A and B are shown apart, each in its own frame.
Chain A
Amino acid sequence: MSRLAGIYYDGRTSRGRPAVLHLGRDGAVWFDDAGLPRASIRELRISERVGNIPRAFVFPDGARFETPDNDAVDRLLAAFGRARAPRFLYALESRARYILVALAAVVAFSWMLVRFGIPEAARAVAFALPVETNAAIGASALELLDRAVLRPSALEAETRERLAGHFARMAAEQPQGFSYTLHFRSGGRIGANALALPSGAIVLTDELVQLAQRDEEVIAVLAHEFGHVAHRHGLRRALQSSAMGLLAVLLTGDVSSTSAMVAALPTLLVEAQYSQAFEHEADRYAYEYLTRRGIEPAHFANLMERLEQQRRGPGGALAYLSSHPPTAERLRRFRGGS
């Protein structure tokens, strides 16, 4: 026979009565106070253990007996062979080695998902969508850039026409469905730079054109930007960040403002990783394009190297995107011949 001290609430008023519950070998449940109900343990619902919060014995009429003595309740339930699943949960939660295993599993799973699952899924979805979807992503991006950073180009008309000619020839060799347009701008704060918008619009800054010593170098950069478009990087980026947001909510289980703010921090690290992967893809695309056309891939490396020097120099363009892979590594790929 076991006894438990706690408080009895009848469920009709908020009044609580200190009470001692007795449990007989046959499963009969009664209290010290004879005025309180008797029942069989089989009729009672006993709340699951969570941490060390009070346990409730719920009687068929809705009355509750609450006790803080969780261990005693567990012993008692074990004696009656009840509630195996909840004890399993508590057992998981209360043993250090299970917690370590759970932690390792969660960390490994999150890492796999973020590293491989999300990018692969985003790629599959992006290519399953109609090609027009790309134009919808960041439709007004160029307008925004024009307002915030870019200024009208000051290049001579002759240069522009010549480069537009190269661009037109390249665009004809690209995947169909995008509307390829070339835009010349003065880079302002972002200096020597080139950008591809998901719709197929490509922006070249005056500074980049001036930094290039031959047209092949510009063609190499354009090929890289075409790579971003062909691989649908804009759409994939959008899909990846929504998936990351959803994942954070699903895993941590809440949508409060603090965790949203905080979820942004690891997300930033991951996004940098993702954009490095995109740059690799675009580089590979450029490399293959240049080789196909019989243009020496080293032109790309030469321009990158000059950009790097300029960036290191005082007042240089800081911005050739820190999300890009380390230049040395890229140079090796374009010069080393694979």
Chain B
Amino acid sequence: MQATAAAASARRAMPFAFHGRGGEYFRIWIVNILLTILTLGIYSAWAKVRRQRYFYGNTRLGDAAFEYLADPRVILRGRLIAFGVFVAYSAANEFYPPAAMVLSLVFAGAMPWLVVRSLAFRARNTAFRNIRFDFKGKYREAAGAFLWMPMLIPFTFGLIYPYIVRRQKEVVIGNTMYGTTPFTFSARTRDFYELFVPILVLLVGGGMVVYGLARISLPLVLAVGGLFYLGLHSYLSAHLANLVYNHSRIGPHRLRSDQRARDLALLHLTNLVGIALTLGLYIPWAKVRLARYRIEHLQLLAAGELDAFAAGEQQKVTSTGEEIGEMFDLAIGV
């Protein structure tokens, strides 16, 4: 492609826009829940597709919206398998812990596979301008970043952690394609240490303060500790998102993200208060607000037009990996 210096200097900033509205999503959300209850959970797969289509379809770049194309029947099958695994694991854990140990080992071995399948399912069911995304990662590469390296964390006093996060992002982004065009990821290990070291210092310092307060008053600790956690969480998620997006490229185009920790902290705090006061009914508005913030702080620095991406060959992929991953709360993604 025409990634020359001239083209690079002529980049055009195209903002991502989010058109979802809380009230509109609330209607979809409540109907989803009702039908999920009435069908004893079967509808949850269709509900997921509807929810994802709403969020993807309201995410726009230029004159086009993203699309979520997953087949609910595939998701349902994945969910049933995931549910079976979950029940087996819980039952083993409750009644015969040695079996749960064995299952945990099997699960650990399957984890890189889950990561790969889950990323592939998500990517292949995402399209923009009628070109699907794809994920080419393999078990072996995922195993390094998601299984072997995390095992070293205790032996390195956690010092390896920022490196692992970088490797994971590299595996995720470096193997993602838009049509036949690969994403590239250029962040250095050093960037991740520069992000994580201050967080670690704050965590240790804050932990000591909270520990000290614990001797004075429990409610005070919960309040201070909660706010501290919220602040740190917002700082990390804002700066990590910025770091990752700002070092990701797609062909000649680049991304720019400018989330701010204090905006995110305020957003999370107001969302939390809203959800708590309404016993959960505020959740749709909370999700829309968060999505809008993240999406509208992202830009594509386009080098030329977005017309030149070619479609790749598509393979089918089952959603079992993604659904098992969700069941066990595997946090994967950008």
Contact = CB atoms under 8 A, between A and B. Distances in A.
B182 interface: no
Interface stretch (A7-15, A28-36, A307-315): A7-15
A133 interface: yes
B317 interface: no
Contacts of B5: none
A124 B272 CA distance: 34
Contacts of A62: 130
A170 B267 CA distance: 56
Contacts of B271: 258, 262
B30 A53 contact: no
Given A13-B131, A89-B31, A258-B286, A7 B54 contact: no
A99 B281 CA distance: 13
Nearest to A64: B130
Contacts of A138: none
Contact of B57 (A11, A50, A93, A136): A50
Interface in A125-173: 129, 133, 136
Most A CB within 10 A of own CB, among B27, B53, B268:
B27
A256 to B, nearest CB: 9
Nearest to B65: A54
A116 B333 CA distance: 38
Given A10-B130, A250-B41, A258-B272, A56 B31 contact: no
Contacts of A64: 130
A298 B38 CA distance: 49
B32 interface: yes
B286 A54 contact: no
Nearest to A263: B280
A136 B96 CA distance: 10
Interface stretch (B17-25, B104-112, B185-193): B17-25
A265 B279 CA distance: 8
A50 B329 contact: no
A261 B272 contact: yes
A286 to B, nearest CB: 29
Contact of B308 (A11, A14, A66): A14
A219 to B, nearest CB: 32
B30 A102 contact: yes
Interface in B285-331: 286, 290, 306-311, 326-327, 329, 331
A53 B65 contact: yes
A64 B128 CA distance: 11
B58 interface: yes
Contacts of A99: 26-27, 30-31
Interface stretch (A103-111, A196-204, A287-295, A322-330): A103-111
B37 interface: yes
A52 interface: yes
A63 B95 contact: no
Interface residues of A, number: 49
A206 to B, nearest CB: 22
Contact of B307 (A13, A54, A252): A13
A12 B275 CA distance: 44
Interface stretch (B43-51, B151-159, B202-210): B43-51
A78 interface: no
B307 A15 contact: yes
A13 B20 contact: no
Given A93-B27, A102-B30, A265-B276, A250 B36 contact: yes
Contact of B54 (A15, A50, A242, A258): A50
A251 interface: yes
Interface in B49-77: 50-51, 53-54, 56-58, 63-65, 67
B10 interface: no
A210 interface: no
A253 to B, nearest CB: 6
Interface in A58-108: 62-64, 66, 89, 92-94, 98-99, 102-103, 105-106
A19 B272 CA distance: 45
Contacts of B27: 93-94, 99
A39 interface: no
Nearest to B20: A51
Contact of B64 (A52, A66, A136, A253): A66
A16 B20 CA distance: 23
A54 B128 CA distance: 12
8 contacts: A50-B54, A64-B130, A252-B33, A253-B48, A253-B51, A255-B329, A257-B331, A262-B272
Interface of A: 7, 9-16, 47-48, 50-54, 56, 62-64, 66, 89, 92-94, 98-99, 102-103, 105-106, 109, 129, 133, 136, 242, 250-253, 255, 257-259, 261-263, 265-266
Task: For the complex of A and B, list the 8 residue pairs with the smallest distance between their C-beta atoms, beginning with the closest.
Answer: A53-B57, A9-B130, A14-B309, A15-B307, A14-B129, A93-B27, A102-B34, A64-B130
Interface of B: 19-21, 24-28, 30-34, 36-37, 41, 44, 47-48, 50-51, 53-54, 56-58, 63-65, 67, 90, 94-95, 128-131, 179, 233, 268, 271-272, 275-276, 279-281, 283, 286, 290, 306-311, 326-327, 329, 331
Given A50-B57, A265-B275, 18 more contacts: A16-B63, A51-B20, A51-B28, A53-B19, A53-B57, A89-B31, A93-B28, A99-B27, A102-B33, A103-B281, A129-B94, A250-B44, A251-B33, A252-B283, A253-B32, A253-B47, A258-B290, A259-B275
